[in-house]
Amino acid sequence: MPDIIPILDNFAQLIYILPPMQHIYLDHAATTPVDHRVLEAMQPYFSEKYGNPSSLHFFGQEARKAIDAARDIIATEIGCTSDEVIFVSGGTEANNFVLKGIAFARTQGEIITTPIEHHAILEPLEFLEKRGFRVKILPVDKYGLVDPADVKKAITKETILVSVMHGNNEIGTIEPIREIAEVIRRRTKDEGRNIVFHTDAVQTFGYLPIKVDELNVDLMSVSAHKFYGPKGVGFLYIRKGTRLVRFMDGGAQEFGKRASTQNVPGIVGLGKAVQLLGKERSGRVAHARKLRDRLIAGIQSKIADVVFNGHPEQRLPNNAAFCVTGVEGESMVLNLDMERIAASTGSACSSGSLDPSHVLRAIGVDPVLAHGQVRFTLGNMNTEAEVDKVLEILPRIVEKLRRMSPLYKAK
């Protein structure tokens, strides 16, 4: 009997030396890779500069300086003072902090929002409704846009908070935040009271230059991993004078607003990612928009019966989201994955749900058609060749799935 060990060894070596299969990643709305320059900035703070920033000795103060530097970078980028920037674990925590913090500071009242918000807004609002707070859901049009006039009509003497996302994670529509803020400010001025305005800018911060005074918001949520920073860290902008109950107790960190030892490597990475973004945003946006438009034009010319979702112009520059008649989105995504192309059906946070997207329901998409959504979100490293590869493969996948589908009849 031959000795199989050398054979297995040779096989393993053969597998090892084969070039890796090339994957195409088009799901940057779910997360982005950490920029190598961000990683380099973070690395010393894992095992060399490892002090607790609350400690008074050299190691602690070294970490404290790094945190302060990151906070200053962010404050400069968004046009606020450093003590208005609070580090958190990401967008979900920031949104929970806002909703529960404002609600519990006021003890009662009404919160206004939209039906297309991320679950990190909608689920905390369900929590608050069970505890006696009222939640009012604004309508949106077929593109997912909120009409500022509807905000004006919705505000009552009981309104304590309005929360409207800056850009939608599924369909890419960018909301008229400045105009909504103006409506709120007019009402608060006329009636002599304070209605707090919050925006979830998790999807937009990496693409739109944001100054909080220009947007005229009181609170803003941002997460690092959406713009080439690390996961598990983000920041919440809190305008000075905004009263909210802190979300976590147990220490005086973050100006007494958020207890817990700070994630120093993550915060350093966040600061570096924001610094790079400030220098490179315009180039990144131009690159993403060029690829997005190439992808959309190609799909329109190669695949029949496709409905694009979101506003045609007022949208994120990297987002191409659409529904394909007679095909399930999950089937398209799985078939694309077998071809080494990563896309999604919508929000990564609800990918396990069999229900049609709450965003598509809100904009009036037929429930059957809504099951056929696929979303491509482009990033810095994508190329025209990768887009062309998608345009070569996706029509074949759609054709195959439609042949199998009892729902599709070619026109």
188 vs 194: CA distance, rounded Å: 6
Tokens, residue 357 = 């997207």
Tokens, residue 8 = 């297995």
221 vs 333: CA distance, rounded Å: 29
Contact 172, 289 (CB under 8 A): no
Residue in 245, 304, 349, 391 annotated catalytic:
349
275 vs 74: CA distance, rounded Å: 8
Contact 169, 203 (CB under 8 A): yes
The verdict on whether 349 is a catalytic residue reads yes
- CA distances (Å), origin 125, targets 97, 99, 122, 308: 12, 7, 5, 30
358 vs 92: CA distance, rounded Å: 18
Q: List residues with catalytic annotation.
A: 349
